[in-house]
A and B are shown apart, each in its own frame.
Chain A
Amino acid sequence: MNNENLLTQLTEKYQKAVLGSCDRFGVLEIQVDRATIAEVVKFLRDTPEFSFNMLIDLVSIDYSNYPGWTGDRFSLSYLLKSLLLGHRLQLKTTVPEDEPVVPTISGLYGNADWLEREAYDQMGIRFAQHPNLKRLLNHHEFVGHPLRKDYPITRRQWLSANESLMDEMEVRLKEKGYE
């Protein structure tokens, strides 16, 4: 399915959510409202004409230093691909600074769990109903969100002791039936 069909079918179903679209080097980018992003992604994954069954990446962007930007401070970009039909799609939502909450898609794709944890860790965007929203790359005593533009890149923070990760281990053990 080519980009025009994709866009028309999606706007038929979700008129209020689709805010705009453009073409990024051959990949269609659709701007979606923040509150309905999870439903839109679920719709795209489940309907057979689209069948976007692979989430390639979840990218968070900080527009603080972007020249001439007047919209919300953050933006999330979801890159989807269909392994069955072969097409790609980029969904973008803007996230305001004073309420950086977005519904989670960790129930839809397996890799969304850690991708959203990384977006939380580095940019501070929270994901509602995420099963385990804690830091992924930085250590647990880290204060702040380092990939934001107002975090000085060379501010270092020492760690006194590693966390034991037993909380995640116990969940795994329970899943496998060892407790």
Chain B
Amino acid sequence: MGVETFPVMTTRKDAVIAWGQKNSLWPMPFGTACCAIEFMGVVSSVFDLARFGAELVRFSPRQSDLLLVAGTVTFKQAPILKQIYEQMCEPKWVISMGVCASAGGFYNNYCTVQGIDQVIPVDVYISGCPPRPEAILQAVMKLQHKIENPNTTPPAQFKVAEPHFDY
């Protein structure tokens, strides 16, 4: 019996759910600085992010599942970022865009958080100042691959430290 006569497909529940999740990542741009402008370029027509399903950029954590931290996060902003992250519903993912969000970037000083993974857990890091739009699209694709293949721990040398919560 071919699919023409008996149109049924069998698969695993997790695979279908992951397929749905990865193809409908709705981003919440936590844009604080220049990377937010670059993100605006990514969702625009030339480097269209909508073709990955990330079409609805709802600026509300309650209506999105991907937190895209784009820009520098200061210590004054860190509790706000934590609160926004906690307001998102499970399942949620975090992409840290640009070097400021990933590691403090250019600003090694008294007011910049040296990487948002000191505040919230991060799934994919993007380096660049600002990252090329292609790099952001690659990060979304990497996140899609991570959603499809959960529980695959990276090799030992790529493991990152546990997130450090100070409060």
Q: Which A residues form the contact surface with B (CB < 8 A)?
A: 137-139, 146, 151, 153-162
Contact = CB atoms under 8 A, between A and B. Distances in A.
B113 to A, nearest CB: 8
A39 B144 CA distance: 65
B78 A153 contact: no
Interface residues of B, number: 14
Interface of B: 75-76, 78-80, 108-114, 166-167
Contact of B79 (A151, A154, A155, A159): A159
B76 A138 contact: yes
A156 B75 contact: yes
7 contacts: A138-B111, A153-B109, A155-B110, A156-B114, A158-B166, A159-B75, A161-B79
A154 B109 contact: yes
A154 to B, nearest CB: 6
A139 B76 contact: yes
A11 B79 CA distance: 52
Contacts of A157: 75, 110
Contacts of B113: 156
A172 B139 CA distance: 44
A136 to B, nearest CB: 11
Contacts, number: 40
Interface SS of A by simple majority: loop
A146 B76 contact: no
Contacts of A137: 111
A158 B110 contact: no
A151 B78 contact: no
B118 to A, nearest CB: 9
A158 B78 contact: yes
B79 A146 contact: no
A35 to B, nearest CB: 32
Contact of B167 (A146, A154, A160): A160
Contacts of B108: 153-154
Nearest to A162: B79
B76 A158 contact: no
Contacts of B76: 138-139, 159, 162
Nearest to B111: A138
Contacts of B167: 158, 160-161
B75 A146 contact: no
B110 A160 contact: no
Given A158-B166, A158-B167, A160-B167, A146 B78 contact: no
